[in-house]
Amino acid sequence: MSEWRLLVDGEPLQPLTSPAVDYFSGRVVAAPESKDPPFTVERDRFVTEGAHEDIVVAKHTAEERLLRLDLCFAADFADVLEAQQPGAHENRTRVEVGKRSLTLSFEQDGFRRGTRLSFNRKGELERDRVTFKLTVEPHGRWKLCVDLTPIEGAKPRAPLLRCDSFGAPEPAMPLALQEWLERAPELEAGDDLQHVYQSSLVDLASLRIRPREEDLRWAMPAGGVPWFLTVFGRDSLIASYQALPFQPTLARATLEALAETQATERDDFRDAEPGKILHELRRGKLVGLGLDPHGPYYGTHDATQLFLILLDEYERWSGDAAFVRKLEPNARAALTWIDEQGDLDSDGYLEYESRSAKGLTNHCWKDSDDSIQFAEGRPAEGPIATCEIQGYAYDARLRAARLARELWGDDELAADQERKAKKLRDRFNRDFWDDELGYYVLALDGRKHRVDAIASNAGHLLWSGIVPKNRARLVADRLLRDDLFSGWGIRCLSSEMRGYSPLEYHAGTVWPHDSAICAEGMRRYGLREHAGRVCAAVSEAAVAFEHRLPEVFAGFGRDETDIPVPYPDALAPQAWSAGAPLLALRTLLGLDVVGGRLRSRPRVPKQLGQIALRRIPVRGPAPQFPLNRRSMRFSLPLLG
């Protein structure tokens, strides 16, 4: 719907409140603009396949009232990519008007979409509105029920809650929201941290894609609302990794879905090569007409390594060896891509450069056009090898080696991957380390020149383990200097760089998932005070944003007002930002699975207080009460 607007007596109403009831329903209460409004209008909306809306006019005074209610609507069938650029598409909508229903439709070159509106009352239906003339009794109520049914090709997707049904059914998911929350570990902490934890779990539940047999059969997390409620590679993999100690079902769903969509052939328009994991999958108009490569698009040079990293980590936490054996062919195809197509010039590093006329310039997590730049602000030219992509490759090889030796029975593959990982580590620490900077450079450009910007990417190197122990503290210290650490998290680009801007998407903002990964990397090297400082910042930022972290926020330094500055149009909820507080909790608690058993080495900054976590799922589902040996409770000592 490109328009959905309610008028009473020709005038819009003033919203009094508009809370989300849960992740698939919300309520708006509105009234006329006056000192003592004589009536209110309640709008309850449920989005489940289609959408359902109840509109209730409630009279609050002792006089009868005649009202005219207009519900104005339109559907231009713009693709979600077109909708971000108003006016960039041609409106070809057809309208068919019935007695109590109306259908808006679009067809072009065999691509068909439609929206049917149905009303439980008869009104005056026109092409762009339905009008009701109503009399509301003193202290009385008048109700209208509307069903919105999207039509995909020739198949209608009726809302699960309809005008002739009762209750408010939850979208069909493998786990209903209440069961999802009950299966998660139980956190005992201060109120603010409790609220952040609860919000993260609910947001991740809300971002699960509803399984459909003909499309995607697994409830994996989408990227974020509103623009990226679709299948992602990198985002979904990282969010699933973050959630592993809390909701391991996300990891399995993500791995299975991405294995199903793994590329099997070269396609330059979609930047696809055999074995590569997708970046993003769309099913909208532009893809349907062959005008856009996102069906799916493979322009990511790190999702393939992250797939292997998550596969190994999932087995450690879940013990689901049968599933990992099932995905062995996909893992081997991913390794082949790393060895061959991912290394464009056979120098041992993974470089990217789009072959698609409509592809992304950058295929790392900082995928905006000017994100990979020199300290002087000049954008790097490709093919580009960013530092963190090499770290992911190192980690992926070692994890694949473990799986090959312990689960696939292939010692030769394991030895080969370990040898390649060692060679990469040695060369990387020679070519990417800059003695003058005392830090890792951001990337190597197409001429193998060092892209010398100071950025957060080096923190991901700590997470991957490619950094020698004698350099780990240097990296961690550098990440916490004032030019990178804002007080709310780690800026993605140092404020000392010429291209820095606190409101530039990938050139100075703070990304919660980025900070959480850096903190987990610090923990890996035993730098617990460094890690705790970053985790505390992430947690306090979440509290400041009313317990829900946005995708990204401005890189302004924290001052005495203690108010972080939002980034315009940041996604919320967004998968890896929702997962960032969960990864921070894992870092603070020092949680790992070693030899099939849960290990905890907690260390929590004083300002976060005491934390206890119960019923952590390890090598199987989370136990229910009464607690057993796997139900572990940690009452954590305070730092300082």
| pLDDT, tens digit, 9 for 90 and up, residues 597-631 | 999 999 999 999 999 999 999 987 654 433 332 33
- Band (pLDDT 50/70/90 cuts) for residue 169 is low
Of 76-90, 554-568, 585-599, which range is least confident? 76-90
CA distance 499 to 526: 33
Q: Is residue 172 a part of any domain in this protein? A: no
Task: Return all residues near 326 (Cβ < 8 A) that are at least 6 apart.
Answer: none
pLDDT score of 165: 67
The total of structural domains in the chain comes to 2
Whole-number percent of the chain with pLDDT over 70: 95
Q: Is residue 165 a part of any domain in this protein? A: no
Longest dimension (CA), the chain: 86
CA distance 283 to 234: 19
Region 251-261 average pLDDT: 96
Same domain, 553 and 521: yes
* Higher-scoring residue by pLDDT: 401, 229: 401
Region 181-193 average pLDDT: 95
Q: Is residue 444 a part of any domain in this protein? A: yes
Same domain, 217 and 112: no
CA 514 to chain centre: 13
CA 456 to chain centre: 19
- Per the structure, the complete domain to which residue 328 belongs is given by 177-639
Same domain, 210 and 77: no
Region 334-359 average pLDDT: 96
pLDDT score of 214: 66
Region 508-512 average pLDDT: 98
The upper half-sphere exposure of residue 636, i.e. CA atoms within 13 Å in the direction of its Cβ, equals 28
Same domain, 152 and 181: no
Same domain, 470 and 594: yes
pLDDT score of 313: 98
Average pLDDT of the residues of the chain: 92
Residue 549 sits in a domain of what CATH number?
1.50.10.10
Same domain, 244 and 98: no
DSSP calls for 311-324: HHHHHHHH--HHHH
- Band (pLDDT 50/70/90 cuts) for residue 632 is very low
Contact 311, 403 (CB under 8 A): yes
Region 438-448 average pLDDT: 97
Bridge partners, residue 134, by sequence: 67
Contact 359, 352 (CB under 8 A): no
Of 129-143, 153-167, 184-198, 453-467, which range is least confident? 153-167
Q: pTM here? A: 0.93
Q: Is residue 162 a part of any domain in this protein? A: no
Same domain, 104 and 191: no
CA 588 to chain centre: 22
- Band (pLDDT 50/70/90 cuts) for residue 80 is confident
Same domain, 204 and 141: no
One-letter amino acid for residue 544 of the chain: A
Burial of 489 (0-12, 13-18, 19+ CB in 10 A): buried
pLDDT score of 24: 86
Same domain, 114 and 230: no
What is the three-class DSSP state of 387? helix
Residue pLDDT, tens place only, 84-137 = 777 667 778 999 999 999 999 999 999 999 999 999 999 999 999 999 999 999
pLDDT reading at 287 higher than 50: yes
pLDDT score of 621: 62
The residue whose two tokens read 């109840």 is: 54
Contact 598, 619 (CB under 8 A): no
pLDDT score of 167: 63
pLDDT score of 633: 38
Query: CA distances (Å), 263 to each of 228, 266, 304, 330, in order?
Result: 21, 8, 10, 10
Residue pLDDT, tens place only, 459-476 = 999 999 999 999 999 999
CA angle 522, 523, 524 (to 5 degrees): 90
Same domain, 187 and 138: no
Q: Is residue 434 a part of any domain in this protein? A: yes
Q: Is residue 167 a part of any domain in this protein? A: no
C-alpha closest to that of 556 among 611, 508, 592: 508
The domain boundary residue, chosen from 107, 126, 156: 156
* Higher-scoring residue by pLDDT: 191, 171: 191
Residue pLDDT, tens place only, 288-321 = 999 999 999 999 999 999 999 999 999 999 999 9
Same domain, 222 and 318: yes
Q: Is the link from the previous residue into 383 a cis peptide, with omega within 30 of 0?
A: yes
pLDDT score of 84: 78
Of 103-112, 163-172, 263-272, 383-392, which range is least confident? 163-172
Residue pLDDT, tens place only, 18-55 = 988 888 889 999 999 988 899 999 999 998 889 999 99
C-alpha closest to that of 584 among 527, 529, 538, 639: 538
Contact 384, 351 (CB under 8 A): yes
pLDDT reading at 143 higher than 80: yes
pLDDT score of 21: 84
Residue 76 sits in a domain of what CATH number?
2.70.98.40
C-alpha closest to that of 219 among 185, 252, 194, 181: 252
Q: Is residue 169 a part of any domain in this protein? A: no
Same domain, 111 and 185: no
pLDDT score of 211: 83
Q: Is residue 509 a part of any domain in this protein? A: yes
